[in-house]
Amino acid sequence: MVLSTPLPRSSKRPARALAPSGPAGPAPVGPAGRRPRRPPARTAPRNDRDLLAMVRAFAQLYLEVEAGWRERRQLAALVPPRVATRLAASPTAAPPGMTAPVGHVHGLFGARTASQHFDAVVILRRERRYEALAVRLRLSAGGWSIVEASRPQDQDDPSFGLLTDVQ
């Protein structure tokens, strides 16, 4: 059966203009351009360099939170609650509602301490002050995750006695 009258178009969606037909059929009309690139596939870090990049990104986020540029909940989403509580107790560089200059990662050192653990020390620099941040990652079924992040000043006093002058 052949219809002699065209079917009515839906008023909800505008009709697409088509270019003249070619051997492959009609082509859409519009500005020429490239297709959007697909985002890179997310893969788990495969080597120590990838793990160091992950630690560097975490340390930079930590500095931005401490300077008041980002909210603490962004940092809390990446670490266990115990670590988030301890990091939240540390004073920020800026008063509430204000921001301070963001520091930067001055140095980064890390190594695998076991097949499923990676320990790193990040040297942070803020203006004229340097600080260390220790980070531990653990490999689990979901990939690498941060299980510990601490600064030396956040730790309790050592269980051993401190050396004193002996006479």
Contact 14, 30 (CB under 8 A): no
Q: Which residues contact 74 (CB under 8 A, 6 or more apart)?
A: 61, 65
Q: Which residues contact 121 (CB under 8 A, 6 or more apart)?
A: 108, 109, 110, 132, 133, 134, 135
Given this model, what pLDDT does residue 105 score?
Answer: 94
Q: Which residues contact 28 (CB under 8 A, 6 or more apart)?
A: 16, 17, 18, 19
Given this model, what pLDDT does residue 106 score?
Answer: 94
Residues 50-91 have pLDDT tens digits of 999 999 999 999 888 888 888 888 888 888 888 888 777 776
State the architecture of 48-153 in CATH terms: Roll (3.10)
Task: Return the higher-pLDDT residue of 12 and 67.
Answer: 67
Buried b or exposed e, range 145-157, using 16+ CB within 10 angstroms: ebebbbbeeeeee
For residues 60 and 58, give the distance between their C-alpha atoms in angstroms, rounded to a whole number. Answer: 5
Where residue 17 falls among pLDDT bands split at 50, 70, 90? low
For residues 27 and 30, give the distance between their C-alpha atoms in angstroms, rounded to a whole number. Answer: 9
Given this model, what pLDDT does residue 166 score?
Answer: 47
How many angstroms separate the most distant Cα atoms in the chain?
113
Q: Which residue's structure tokens are 């120590």?
A: 48
Given this model, what pLDDT does residue 118 score?
Answer: 94
Given this model, what pLDDT does residue 2 score?
Answer: 54
Buried b or exposed e, range 112-121, using 16+ CB within 10 angstroms: eeeeeebbbe
Residues 35-49 have pLDDT tens digits of 666 666 656 667 889
Domain ranges of the chain: 48-153
126 burial type by CB count under 10 A (0-12 exposed, 13-18 middle, 19+ buried): middle
Least confident of 21-25, 41-45, 98-102, 163-167: 163-167
Task: Return the higher-pLDDT residue of 98 and 130.
Answer: 130
Given this model, what pLDDT does residue 119 score?
Answer: 94
